Amino acid sequence: MSAGYKAMTQLSVHPFDHEISQTELKQRLVSFAHEIGFDPCRVTACGFAPHAHEFRNWLGEGGHGEMSYMERGEEKRCDPQKVLPGARSIVVLAMNYFQGGHQGGGTPAATGRIARYAWGDDYHDLIQSKLDNIDEFLREFGGQQKCYVDTGPVLERDHAAEAGTGWHGKSTMLINERLGTWFFLAEVLTTLELPPDEPVPDRCGTCERCIKACPTGAITAPHRLDARRCISYLTIELKGSIPLALRPLIGDRIFGCDDCLAACPWNRFAQVSRETAFLARPQTAGVPLRDYLSLSDEEFRLLFRNSPIKRIKRRGFLRNVCVALGNVGDSSDLAALERAAADLEPLIAEHAKWAIQQIRSRHGISPSIGKKTGLIQNAPRSIESETVPRRIQNCYERDFVCKSQTSD
C-alpha cells in the first residue's frame, strides 16, 4: 500500500461505517489520484465510445496495418460494458511525461532521435502500479474495477474527451490546455456511480501545423491517421521489413516520432513533469548511432532494461538504427554497417545493406573501394563502438554502488 493511500484512508471515514455522497467520494478520489502522481483525474459515464463508427471505418480501411490486436478487441473497444458489465463510470487519468529541453548529448543527426515517451522508464509498469492503488481505494467504497493503461481494449481518447481531459486534436492526439500533448492516459472502469465532468471545447481552430509537420503524410485528413505511414508504427509496431519508399522519410528517428506533437502550439504551455522516472537515461545520451550496431542480445537487454524500447528487441532496434544511418550516416559508418550486413538476423542484415547503398550513393563512394582496399570489411571497431558496453557496465556499477551506499 502506498504512503499516499495510507494517508487518505486514515483521513477518511470508512464507507461502510458512514455513507458519503458521490460528490464527496469523487473529491477524495481526485485528491488521492493527484497525490499519487496523476493530473488531471476526471470522470465520464460509462457509455458507448462516441467515435466507434470512425474507429470501425479505420479498421475497414486497414488504417491499423499489422496491429491485429486492434481488430480482435473491436467489440469491446466500442462498448466498455463488454469489458466490465455493470460499469457505471470511467475515471480518466492523465500523467504528464514532459521532461523539458532536448535529449542530452551529441547532435540529433549523429545520435538518432527517440520519442520523448521512451526517454526514461516504461510508463506501463509505473502507471499500472498506481492504478492498482486507485482500484484498492475504490474497492473500499464497494466498487469493482478494471484498470487500463494503453494495452486494454478501450478507445482511451474517446472517453478522455468525454471526461474533458482534453479535446481531439487534428493530429488525433488528445490535447489538454495545460499539459499540451505530452501526457499518458489511463482509465479505471468502475461499477460506482460518480458525478461526470463536462467535455471541453475543441481549440484547434484553423491550425493545421501537425498535418504539415508530419514527415510521411500519415495524417491524411484532420482526425485521421493512417498508421501504416506513421513513423511510430513503422519503428515500433511493425515487426518485419520497413517499406523501401518510407525509409528515407524516417530520417534519424530510431524509436517513435514526436513531430506532430512538437509542432502543436498548445505545447508552449507544457510544464515539466514531477515524475522523474521519465527523464532521459544517461546510458543512451549522446551514443553515436553506429555504436548501437555492436550490441549483443544481452547488452541490448541491459541497456534498455525497464525501457519501452526493450519491447522491439535487438532485431527491431538495430533495423531502425540501420535505416537512420542510411539516411544521416557517412563513410565513417560503413565499417559498422558492413559488420551488421553479416548479422545472423536477416532483418538487420537486409536493412544494413540498404543503408550502405544509401550512404554510398549519397557520398559518391564506389562499391569497389571497400572491397579492393579491405578498409571496410577489415576495419577495426571504432573506439566509440566499445563505449556502449562500457557505458552499460559503468551505469550498472554506479547503480550498484549507489544502492549499496544508501542501504548502509
Determine the 3-state secondary structure of 68 from DSSP. Answer: helix
Binding mask 362-401 for ligand B12 (x = CB under 6 A): ----------------------------------------
CA-only gyration radius of the chain, Å = 24
Give yes or no for residue 119 binding ligand B12 (CB under 6 A).
no
Please work out the total of residues on this chain that contact ligand B12, with binding judged by CB under 6 A.
Answer: 35
Give yes or no for residue 78 binding ligand B12 (CB under 6 A).
no
Give yes or no for residue 181 binding ligand B12 (CB under 6 A).
yes
Binding mask 133-152 for ligand B12 (x = CB under 6 A): ----------------xx--
- b/e string for 319-348 if b means 16 or more Cβ within 10 A? bbbbbbbbbbbeeebbbbbbbbbebebebb
Q: How far is the CB of 69 from ligand B12 (least distance, A)?
A: 8
The entry of ligand B12, ligand SF4, none that residue 174 binds, CB within 5 to 8 Å by partner kind: ligand B12
Binding site for ligand SF4 (CB under 6 A): 169-171, 173, 175, 204, 207-210, 213-216, 218-219, 225, 230-232, 257, 259-260, 263-266
DSSP 336-364: HHHHHTT-SSHHHHHHHHHHHHHHHHHHT
Cβ distance 185 to 131 under 8 Å? no
Give yes or no for residue 156 binding ligand B12 (CB under 6 A).
yes
Q: How far is the CB of 74 from ligand SF4 (least distance, A)?
A: 22
CA distance 44 to 59: 25
Q: Active site residue: 125, 132, 150, 259, which one?
A: 150
Residues forming a β-bridge with 147:
188
CA atoms within 13 A on the CB side of 268: 2
Contact positions with ligand B12 (CB under 6 A) in 249-308: 256-258, 260-261
Around Cβ 374, how many Cβ atoms within 10 Å? 9
Give yes or no for residue 170 binding ligand B12 (CB under 6 A).
no
Give yes or no for residue 320 binding ligand B12 (CB under 6 A).
no
Residue with cell 563502438: 385
The entry of ligand SF4, ligand B12, none that residue 117 binds, CB within 5 to 8 Å by partner kind: ligand B12
Q: Are strands 174-175 and 167-168 parallel, antiparallel or unpaired?
A: antiparallel
Give yes or no for residue 115 binding ligand B12 (CB under 6 A).
yes
Residues forming a β-bridge with 253:
113
CA distance 354 to 55: 36
In sequence order, the 6+-apart residues with CB closer than 8 A to the CB of 57 are: none
User: Torsions phi, psi of 318, nearest 5?
Assistant: -70, -30
For this structure, is 79 an active site residue? no
The entry of ligand SF4, ligand B12, none that residue 207 binds, CB within 5 to 8 Å by partner kind: ligand SF4
The entry of ligand B12, ligand SF4, none that residue 204 binds, CB within 5 to 8 Å by partner kind: ligand SF4
Q: Identify the CA nearest to 242 among candidates 333, 352, 125, 158.
A: 352
- Judged by the rule CB under 6 A, the positions of this chain that interact with ligand B12 are 51, 54-55, 58, 67, 115, 117, 149-150, 154-158, 168, 171-174, 181, 183-185, 223, 225, 227, 230, 232-233, 237, 256-258, 260-261
Active site residues: 150
